[in-house]
Amino acid sequence: MATDPFPQRLPTLDKLGVTDLSNISASKVATEWLDAFSAAITKNDVGAVADIFLEDGFWKDLLWVFAKSDF
């Protein structure tokens, strides 16, 4: 089994600036994020792709793939 070479803690609600849980919809958050990601990819806009990740976020945080890839 592969070991994550860059272990990171998952973001907390505090870090994300969330204080009121009563109006949060996981499906809405996911849909908005995927729409922004899709738009950035469609425009080949690397900066826009980078902007939708947390500053200390990694692509592996979305994929949960920790194996080395040689592309």
In degrees and rounded to multiples of 5, residue 37 shows phi and psi of: -65, -45
- Asked if residue 2 lies in contact with residue 63, where contact means CB atoms within 8 angstroms, the answer is no
Domain boundaries, the chain: 25-63
* Residue with the two structure tokens 């890839």: 69
Is the overall model pTM greater than 0.75, yes or no? no
Residue 54 scores a pLDDT above 80: no
Q: What are the pLDDT digits (tens) for 3-46?
A: 777 666 666 777 777 888 888 888 888 899 899 999 999 999 99
**C-alpha dist (Å) from residue 37 to 24, 31, 65, 68:** 20, 10, 19, 24
